[in-house]
Amino acid sequence: MTEPRPSDLVKDELPDVGAPSAVPTVEEIEEAMKDVVDPELMVNVVDLGLLYGVDVDAEGNVTLDMTLTSPTCPLTDKIEYDTRYVLDGLANSVTLNWVWLPPWTLDMITDDGREQLRSIGYNL
């Protein structure tokens, strides 16, 4: 018979670090989404007006309605990856709905987004 190892004597329950501790609010999701930057324009998707809607259910599952500046955007996968990354640990799960109506226009950019674009040389 072998001696028990010290690790065999510890019976602590560890928290599930992958699950959110509380259901996030729409505002918390929107704030986190400001860390998702459009790789071409270098402005976050919230200030660009690409985030059309946020739904959070009672279990912390998040559904986002988002659009792109162009339906042929070659960097959709990057934006989707970054979205899942910033919401990991905040949301239980993330569903992205890419929507095209209403079509995105420059009018959807926030004042902060316009200022960011001006600072890198865009004339809006």
Q: What is the pLDDT along the chain (124 residues), one digit of tens a residue?
A: 667 666 566 565 655 555 556 899 999 999 999 999 999 999 999 999 999 999 999 999 999 999 999 888 888 999 999 999 999 999 999 999 999 999 999 999 999 999 999 999 998 8
Distance CA 19, CA 21 (A): 6
Tell me whether strands 51-56 and 61-66 are parallel, antiparallel or unpaired: antiparallel
Q: Which domains does the chain have, with CATH numbers?
A: 26-105 (3.30.300.130)
% of the chain with per-residue pLDDT over 90 = 75
pLDDT (0 to 100) of residue 67:
96
